[in-house]
Amino acid sequence: MTPLLSVQGITKRYGNHIGCADVSFDLYPGEVMGIVGESGSGKSTLLNCMAGHLTPDAGQVVFDTRTDGPRDTITMSEPERRMLGRTDWAFVHQHARDGLRMGVSAGGNVGERLMAVGARHYGDIREQATDWLGRVEIDASRVDDRPTTFSGGMQQRLQIARNLVTGPRLVFMDEPTGGLDVSVQARLLDLLRGLVRDMGLSAIIVTHDLAVVRLLADRLMVMKDGHVVEAGLTDQVLDDPQHAYSQLLVSSVLQV
Amino acid sequence: MYVAVKGGERAIENAHAWLAEERRGDKGVAELGVAQIREQLALSVNRVMAEGSLYDPDLAALAIKQARGDLIEAIFLIRAYRTTLPRFGASEPVDTGAMACDRRISATFKDLPGGQVLGPTFDYTHRLLDFKLAADGEVAEAPSREAAAGDVPHVTDFLNREGLIEQAPHDDTPPPDLTREPLEMPADRALRLQALTRADEGFTLGLAYSTQRGYGRNHAFVGELRIGSVPVEMDIPELGFAVEVGEVTLTECETVNQFTGSKTEPPQFTRGYGLVFGQTERKAISMALVDRALRWEELGEDNVGAPAQDAEFVLYHADNIQATGFLEHIKLPHYVDFQSELELVRKLRREAGVDQVAEAAE
Amino acid sequence: MSNYNFAYLDEQTKRMIRRAILKGLAIPGYQVPFASREMPMPYGWGTGGVQVSAAVLTPEDTFKVIDQGADDTTNAVSIRTFFERTAGVETTTATCDATVIQTRHRIPEEALQEGQILVYQVPIPEPLRFLEPRESETRKMHSLEEYGLMHVKLYEDISRHGHIATSYAYPVKVEGRYVMDPSPIPKFDNPKLGDMAAIQLFGAGREQRIYALPPYTQVVSLDFEDHPFEASKADHPCGMCGATDSYLDELIVDDAGGRMFVCSDTDYCEARQAAGHKGKDAA
């Protein structure tokens, strides 16, 4: 089976400081990969390199495109990469504000990706947007309201709807539950788990919260100082960590 | 019956005639001469030359007279005239180190080679209206002495010798020309400085002030401010060497700003730079502060979202001729656009069920 | 004015502008940056159009200027006078006699012919400007054909008002590629932009952009399938000439709020009156 995403030797430096070094892994269709580590471990740098927001100093990010098969997205032209970014890829930001247009209605936010790929029927766009609001548990009556009037949890769910509406094949998530209240986090996680299962999504989730990966990730990478120190099946790594740092990380949080 | 409005041409002619009469004012009062403006309103003349991008005190004085003292209007006249002038070539870069300084001060060193020269400044005057001027403006001759011989070194050169200030390496790349090429982003420093030197004084002052109050704060010392004349030389291809074609008065300001340094670079001071035609001190200092604020990226500073850090915002809005034209164009008729908006609003209101009271009046 | 060159600008500058025009014609709808010069009229008052006109005018041309469709509004008079003085070209108010027509905010009612040039004065050439204020970003959006945001704006209009609430400067797509601002013409004029026999040139002086539509270019007003573009106008005949197919200005004629509607295109209206057409308010 061809991996959906094959990451090879990704390295990014900031001057003398290492962002992330020589990271490689394969992600297969339908798989969810979790990347954990404390802040400064390089997990967000890695995510941004993979998603095309940062240009790595070395390495390849090979994506199995629909039309041309595996292609290195780093050497791809910018129009091609941006096209991927609004079709097969999605990116969920930690702060919903970074991923939403705060001055545009909820319906417009969800509809934007549809319109960007050529949808030109207002009624259809609105219907799909309303449908997606329902799937992320936002009442259909809010379709014309701006996200500024939404709670933090609702904004994050709206951001997820906006990203998933075009049926992306790969979702990048950067601390999707960060900054939310615990009860709101639980509901969001539950929702995400349902969506991942129902849509057969492939995803890469960066988080410092082990509860998130326990619930969502099939496999796990533990990062420290820019390096991957341990990788394996989620349960395996969490229940029987081998590397000293992973042991510290696992023991420092409450078991979920 | 309705007769369409006609006669725009006649109305314009009459308006112009009236304007000319207003400009002249009371004929019982002596007419103002261009030479009087040039000599006695020299700071207005300087501003018009600086923002008009044309060094010619007589033309600037004429423009001020024609514009009834409205300096932006005068700058506009100069700019419009300037575009019609053929370009014979470019001068050699002027050497401000060879400036014959009328004024030269440093806020960073109490004394220094070349000395502190206050020159003709308002700085220490008490701002009291001088009623004597209303009756009699004749003055006694000011005391004078021989100018010291030799070049006056730049203060930043002293700091540079110790490596305390960032290098400003010599660069022979021809700078872009704002008046011949469209402004394009990202703009390099040469282009930014070019835009700032002819930027509106008030706008530049406001931006510079905002950096002092914390919007992109970067504490500035006036390392040096100097005002004086410099020779302008031009390469004459037939001769094979540069000859002096005249001299211009300039105001130059170099600020010394803090910089914390990084892992690869030891702590050093950084620079802001202002250079403006004529004695235009406020503008030159403002320019140096805004220049420094715009350099955040190359110096690895944070963008704190301050207006003065945003090159697109600053450069696209600093030109007062562009700004005033666009602002004032809203006086022009917009019947057609307004009509289409009227139709739309009526339609939306009709659909919203609002009664159209006005329809009855037809 | 004898110490100025023909049509005011020097030949070097005119050549620079012509190069920008040619590039614009080669890439319909693409905004070509050009080094706009200061003109003796203010920015925002037609300096872009004036520079384009100056670059295309020849001594044999016949020039017409309209503002809001009318030949006798103050700014139209001022620009026409400018070229009479600096170029000495013949001027006219008759659309069919003109070879170059400079316009602000209207397209003449009478269909233009091959060989004619229509020069638009453009205040804000960037159709994405009010969605994205950054020039560096909008240029990227054009080059990558990222126009989703434009439709988001139209979507928002419909969800709020039930209609696309843009009535002038209505954005169009040119030859299926560039989204273009047609200048603030009423959307009533949009259908005339496409497939026009004349050359259309757009000049934005302050913003330093020129763009163009060569003859017979495909121009489509943006819309949704279920909310199609509609060219609208006041639902009245012209009070002076009775025309039912022309764009109308609304005039307040008395203190009681009485209104009448007349053609905004004065040449069209006068020609119809001369041919014996009469509206209900005509003498």
The reply to whether B19 and B133 lie within a common domain is no
Would the pLDDT of B1 be above 70?
no
Closest-CA distance of chain A to residue B264, Å:
8
Residue A112: which of C145, C152, C158 has the nearest Cβ? C152
- Torsions phi, psi for B31 (to 5 deg): -70, 145
Summarize the confidence of residues C47-64 as an average pLDDT.
96
Q: How many CB pairs below 8 A link B and C?
A: 165
What is the band of C69 on the pLDDT scale with cuts at 50, 70, 90? Answer: very high
The reply to whether B57 and B113 lie within a common domain is no
The reply to whether B57 and B116 lie within a common domain is no
Closest-CA distance of chain A to residue C20, Å:
26
Nearest alpha carbon to residue B189 among B18, B43, B311, B326: B311
The reply to whether B312 and B356 lie within a common domain is no
Q: What residue in A sits closest to C156 (Cα-Cα)? A: A108
Closest-CA distance of chain C to residue A122, Å:
6
The reply to whether B256 and B345 lie within a common domain is no
CA C202 – CA C213 distance, rounded (Å): 8
Would the pLDDT of B5 be above 60?
no
Q: Where among B57, B82, B107 does a domain terminate?
A: B82
Closest-CA distance of chain A to residue B165, Å:
22
Would the pLDDT of C50 be above 70?
yes
Residues B254/B276, Cβ–Cβ less than 8 Å: no
Q: Which one-letter DSSP state was computed for residue A73?
A: T
Would the pLDDT of B276 be above 50?
yes
Percent of chain B with pLDDT over 70: 94
**Residue span of the structural domain in which B261 resides:** 96-324
Q: Where among B82, B117, B147 does a domain terminate?
A: B82
CA A45 – CA B351 distance, rounded (Å): 53
Closest-CA distance of chain C to residue A133, Å:
16
The reply to whether B184 and B270 lie within a common domain is yes
Residues of A whose CB is below 8 A from B262 = 15
Q: What is the pLDDT of residue A9?
A: 94
Summarize the confidence of residues C95-119 as an average pLDDT.
96
Contact check, Cβ <8 Å, C155/A111: yes
Percent of chain B with pLDDT over 90: 49
What is the band of B332 on the pLDDT scale with cuts at 50, 70, 90? Answer: confident
Q: Where among B58, B82, B106 does a domain terminate?
A: B82
Q: pLDDT for C144-193, tens place per residue?
A: 888 988 999 999 989 988 888 888 899 999 999 999 999 999 999 999 99
Give yes or no for C160 touching B (CB within 8 A).
Answer: no
Q: What is the pLDDT of residue A82?
A: 87
Would the pLDDT of B264 be above 70?
no
B241 found inside a domain: yes
Summarize the confidence of residues C115-127 as an average pLDDT.
95
CA A84 – CA A78 distance, rounded (Å): 10
Give yes or no for B10 touching C (CB within 8 A).
Answer: no
Q: Which one-letter DSSP state was computed for residue B117?
A: B
Give yes or no for C261 touching B (CB within 8 A).
Answer: no
In sequence order, the 6+-apart residues with CB closer than 8 A to the CB of B145 are none
Longest Cα–Cα distance of chain C, Å, equals: 59
Would the pLDDT of B362 be above 50?
no
Give yes or no for B110 touching A (CB within 8 A).
Answer: no
> Strand A58-65 vs strand A32-36: parallel, antiparallel, or unpaired?
unpaired
Q: What is the pLDDT of residue B361?
A: 44
Pick the residue of C151, C161, C173, C177 with the most A CBs within 10 A to test the interface with A by mutation. Answer: C151
Would the pLDDT of B213 be above 50?
yes
Contact check, Cβ <8 Å, B340/C33: no
Q: What is the pLDDT of residue B355?
A: 57
Contact check, Cβ <8 Å, A104/C152: yes
Closest-CA distance of chain C to residue B214, Å:
24
Would the pLDDT of B113 be above 60?
yes
Residues 43-82 of B with CB under 8 A from C: 76, 79-80, 82
Q: What is the pLDDT of residue A256?
A: 40
SS (H, E, C) B186-218: CCCHHHHHHHHHCCCHHHHHHHHHHHHCCCCCC
Which tokens in the block code for residue B261?
A: 């340094």
The reply to whether B74 and B180 lie within a common domain is no
Give yes or no for A129 touching C (CB within 8 A).
Answer: no
The more confident residue out of B57 and B3 is B57
Q: In a 10 Å sphere around its CB, with 0-12 CB exposed, 13-18 middle and 19+ buried, how is residue B266 labelled?
A: exposed
The reply to whether B342 and B259 lie within a common domain is no
Which tokens in the block code for residue B129?
A: 């209206």
Pick the residue of C155, C164, C220, C223 with the most A CBs within 10 A to test the interface with A by mutation. Answer: C155
Chain C residues with a Cβ under 8 Å from any Cβ in chain A: 143-149, 151-152, 155-156, 158-160, 223-227
Query: Which 3 state secondary structure label does DSSP give B316?
Result: helix
Q: What is the pLDDT of residue C216?
A: 98
The neighbours of chain C, by the rule of 3 or more Cβ pairs under 8 Å, are A, B
Q: pLDDT for C266-276, tens place per residue?
A: 999 999 999 99
Summarize the confidence of residues B217-231 as an average pLDDT.
90
Residues of A whose CB is below 8 A from C156 = 104-105, 108
User: pTM for this structure?
Assistant: 0.80
Which tokens in the block code for residue B170?
A: 């010599």
> What Cα–Cα distance (Å) separates residue B258 from each residue in B161, B268, B310?
17, 7, 20
> Which sequence positions of C are flagged as catalytic?
29, 238, 241, 263, 269
Q: What residue in B sits closest to C265 (Cα-Cα)? A: B336
Residues C42/B76, Cβ–Cβ less than 8 Å: yes
The reply to whether B170 and B307 lie within a common domain is yes
Which tokens in the block code for residue B199?
A: 């930027």
Q: How far is CA C223 from the centre of its chain?
A: 21
B88 found inside a domain: no
CA B272 – CA B221 distance, rounded (Å): 10
Q: Which residue bears the tokens 């500073």?
A: B301
Q: Which residue bears the tokens 């112009």?
A: B16
B90 found inside a domain: no
The more confident residue out of C257 and B33 is B33
Residues A241/A230, Cβ–Cβ less than 8 Å: yes
Strand ranges for chain A from DSSP E: 5-14, 17-27, 32-36, 58-65, 69-72, 89-92, 170-174, 202-207, 219-224, 227-233
Would the pLDDT of B4 be above 60?
no
B29 found inside a domain: yes
CA C17 – CA C50 distance, rounded (Å): 11
Would the pLDDT of C116 be above 90?
yes
Closest-CA distance of chain B to residue C51, Å:
12
Helices (H) and strands (E) in chain C, counts: 7, 12
Q: What is the pLDDT of residue B344?
A: 86
What is the domain count for chain B? Answer: 3
Contact check, Cβ <8 Å, B329/C43: yes
B2 found inside a domain: no
Helices (H), C58-124: 74-86
Nearest alpha carbon to residue A20 among A43, A52, A50: A43
Contact check, Cβ <8 Å, A120/C225: yes
- The β-bridge partners of C63 are C91, C100
Query: Which 3 state secondary structure label does DSSP give B247?
Result: strand
Q: What is the pLDDT of residue B6?
A: 62
Would the pLDDT of B100 be above 80?
yes
Contact check, Cβ <8 Å, C240/B324: no
B3 found inside a domain: no
Contact check, Cβ <8 Å, A16/B262: no
The reply to whether B299 and B338 lie within a common domain is no
ipTM of the predicted assembly exceeds 0.90:
no
Contact check, Cβ <8 Å, C186/B337: yes
The more confident residue out of B266 and C180 is C180
Residues A204/A231, Cβ–Cβ less than 8 Å: no
Residue C158: which of A101, A117, A122 has the nearest Cβ? A122
Query: Which 3 state secondary structure label does DSSP give B351?
Result: helix
Ranges of residues in chain A whose predicted pLDDT is under 70? 253-256
Residues C112/C74, Cβ–Cβ less than 8 Å: no
Lowest mean pLDDT among B155-164, B227-236, B255-264, C157-166: B255-264
Residues of C whose CB is below 8 A from B339 = 186, 234, 247-250, 264
Residues C224/A122, Cβ–Cβ less than 8 Å: yes
B166 found inside a domain: yes
Residues of B whose CB is below 8 A from C251 = 2
Q: pLDDT for C207-241, tens place per residue?
A: 999 999 999 999 999 999 999 999 888 888 999 99
Q: How far is CA C83 from the centre of its chain?
A: 19
Q: What is the pLDDT of residue C171?
A: 95
The reply to whether B262 and B153 lie within a common domain is yes
Contact check, Cβ <8 Å, A122/C146: no
The reply to whether B176 and B194 lie within a common domain is yes
Residues 14-43 of A with CB under 8 A from B: 15-17
Q: Kindly report the average pLDDT of chain B as a whole number.
A: 88
Contact check, Cβ <8 Å, C224/A104: no
B91 found inside a domain: no
Summarize the confidence of residues B339-355 as an average pLDDT.
83
Give yes or no for B8 touching C (CB within 8 A).
Answer: yes
